[in-house]
Amino acid sequence: MHDSESDTFVYQTWPEKVSHMLDEIGVNSTPKEIGTDSVEQARDYYGRNFSQTPRMVTNRGCIKLENSNIDIVQIIQKG
């Protein structure tokens, strides 16, 4: 590594990363712990009747938005 590069890496979850990106554009948000919101307790994220729907969906967490009509944003990974 070069002398100007830091040797320390800060681990961030997906909600923390997205919340930081939203803060940079002026949207107030708070990352939540994974698995703590009732939105994350849903059984199926997508219908199974269509050919394009994925069989496996991974929950990556939620973000609570402040001063917005949207309360919670859930981050999911499909594939």
* pLDDT tens-digit map of 13-69: 899 999 999 999 999 999 988 878 877 776 665 556 666 655 667 788 899 999 989
Q: How much is the pTM?
A: 0.68
pLDDT of residue 47: 59
Cβ proximity of 61 and 34 under 8 Å: yes
pLDDT of residue 25: 93
Q: Mapped to the 3 state alphabet, what secondary structure does the chain carry?
A: CCCCCCCCCCCCCHHHHHHHHHHHCCCCEEECCCCCCHHHHCCCCCCCCCCCCCCCEEEEEEEEECCCCCCEEEEEEEC
Domain boundaries, the chain: 14-78
Strands 29-31 and 57-65: antiparallel
